[in-house]
Amino acid sequence: GQRFRQVGRELAETVILAVLIFFAVKAVIQNFRVEGASMEPSLQSEQYLLVNKALYFRVNMDRVHEFLPFIPGDDGQERHLFRPPRRGDVVVFSFPLDPSRDFIKRVIGVPGDTVEVKDEQVFINGSPLHEDYILATPNYTYGPKTVPPGEYFVLGDNRRNSYDSHA
């Protein structure tokens, strides 16, 4: 009986530990499948990606301040555990018009940037953006518009075949 209880306890501990590890990994890393041609040539349709979700974790400093009063609260700025998205990062996000769908795009403009597309060229704050990852230049015009706080301007690498921030 003693040996049976010990094996049962070890088995239960192993299962609980495995479940905890599974959820911890799932909270930080997730796989996504590329659907469509909007990120070609960088990413191909049906390709699988592993995404590090922890990189952009947002931190609510007001909540932290409630528990640790010596740490200042939120000053109106968005805080991230590691870093916010940067221009050039490829990101996965929920499509705003249908949150059940995920989109994969490249960050072009960060909060405060002025984005304009004209003469088949993307301009950030009046300067042309060097993009060696696209094959075809954009065949549309956009802006100039300033990216609001807490938002990002994203485009697909396949500029002529992408439903993104310009639309």
Residue 145 has a pLDDT of 97
Query: Is 100 one of the catalytic residues?
Result: no
Cα–Cα distance between 84 and 70 in angstroms, integer? 24
Q: Could you state, in chain order, the average pLDDT of each consecutive group of 10 residues for the chain (167 residues)?
A: 88 94 87 91 92 84 75 71 91 90 94 96 96 90 93 94 90
* Other C-beta atoms lying within 10 Å of the C-beta of residue 22: 10
Annotated catalytic residue within 105, 118, 127, 165: 105
Calculate the CA 155 to chain-centre distance: 13
Residue 20 has a pLDDT of 93
Instruction: Report whether 115 contacts 161 (CB < 8 A).
Output: no
Query: Is 118 one of the catalytic residues?
Result: no
Annotated catalytic residue within 26, 38, 45, 100: 38
Q: What DSSP designation does 96 have? A: T
Strand 142-146's sheet: what is its strand order? 127-128, 121-124, 114-118, 142-146
What number of CA atoms fall less than 13 Å from residue 22's CA on the CB side? 6
Q: What pTM does this model have?
A: 0.79
Residue 96 has a pLDDT of 85
The 3-state DSSP class for residue 137 equals coil
Residue 76 has a pLDDT of 60
Question: What would the pLDDT profile of 55-70 be if each residue is shown by its tens digit?
Answer: 888 877 777 767 777 7
